[in-house]
Amino acid sequence: MNTLTWIKRAALACAATAACAGMAAVASGPATQPFADPLDTAAVRSPLAARTLINGLAQAGTRLVAVGQRGHIVYSDDGGAHWTQAAVPLSSDLVAVQFPTPELGWAVGHDGVVLHSVDGGASWSKQLDGRAAAAIVDEQVSKNPNATDAQRADAKRMAEQGPDKPFLDVWFEDRNNGYVVGAFNLIFHTADGGRTWQSWADRTDNPSAFHLNAIRAVGGDLYIVGEQGLVLRLNRERGHFDALATPYKGTYFGLVGKEGALLVYGLRGNAYRSTDRGASWSKVETGLQVGLTASAQAPDGRLLLVSQAGQVLVSADAGATFARLPGAPGGPVSAALAAGGQLVLGGVRGLRQQPLAAH
């Protein structure tokens, strides 16, 4: 199983083809039920929703919200001790979630899904899926007299392939302005809270269409990280994501930081730090040889990195150095959130808490 399969970018290779459903049907024997499109099938209620694969975590005010497989979304109002399942209108696997306000949140996932909540994550509605995304791209290209042959070919291919590409992350700067990013340079922007969306695929320095794995704001700047050392920073004047050179050419899974310090991290324990908005980088010694798949910032400002094996690293100097947090790894981790004195972790075994010692 490759690294991307069991972190929160799970099953990209499978999601990029229409074979997944067929392979599952073969594995389970003769079909006894007609195929139910996950985009049109509500998430099934399950008492084990918080114990299955969790891919993303976010804070909605004092509430914690987690998203995972088969459209499962759960929320907690007691710091993660107990979880309640939310009402979700589809059952596509969900990958990431974010709340710019305590009430308003967005979640993204496979099949080009974008979900929206107006009640702190208790219930959700669909704002976008791969079918609508393909139509948006086709319309934009058809109305653009300067569209290239490659752009027209990409729009046609997207329409023919259907909703097979996942969104992998979401970031809203406020209740109106947000971005969703994903596989093969998939990126959409909204300026009206998700009522309408626009493809920004032609506004990234990503000619090879590498996967866009994560998007985050650090120190007033907005960054995207992806495959083969890809790091992009939003040029707000141009409305364009410009490429930044980094010394590592492997995959970055995420980024974290604070004013004056940006960290990007990924495969084989690799992490790099910049104090000049990505103009130069220094390698951070993590002491790990496994992928770094999640990060968080503690209320006291400490930065945390979590490995795919569940190891937790803590930095009290804005990411210049890291120390291992005591405790045995609890299994693969794909999402992390520091809330109060607890570190909440999500992964293949669901959600768990780990004490976060005071600085």
The SS3 call for residue 226 is strand
pTM, 2 dp: 0.90
Q: With bands split at pLDDT 50, 70 and 90, how would you rate the model's confidence at 32?
A: low
Contact 108, 96 (CB under 8 A): yes
Residue-wise over 303-328: b if at least 16 C-beta within 10 A, else e? Answer: bbbbbbebbbbbbeebbeebeebeee
pLDDT in tens, 306-352: 999 999 999 999 999 999 988 767 789 999 999 988 999 999 999 99
In this structure, the number of other CB atoms found within 10 A of the CB of residue 200 comes to 20
As given in the structure block, the two tokens for residue 320 are 């210049």
Q: Tens digits of per-residue pLDDT, 234-256?
A: 999 999 999 999 999 999 999 99
DSSP, collapsed to helix, strand or coil, labels residue 335 as strand
Looking at residue 148, what is its pLDDT?
Answer: 85
> Is residue 260 within 8 Å of residue 266, measured between CB atoms?
no
Q: How confident is the model at residue 31 (pLDDT cuts 50, 70, 90)?
A: low
Q: Rounded to whole angstroms, how far apart are CA atoms 136 and 126? A: 16
**Residues near 28 by beta carbon (within 8 Å), at least 6 away in sequence:** none
The tokens for 145 are: 């007299």
Q: Which residue has the tokens 């967005």?
A: 106
What is the mean predicted confidence (pLDDT) over 300-306? 96
The DSSP symbol for 346 reads E
Cα distance between residue 38 and residue 87, in whole Å: 15
Strands (DSSP E) contained in 105-184 are 105-109, 113-117, 125-128, 167-172, 178-182
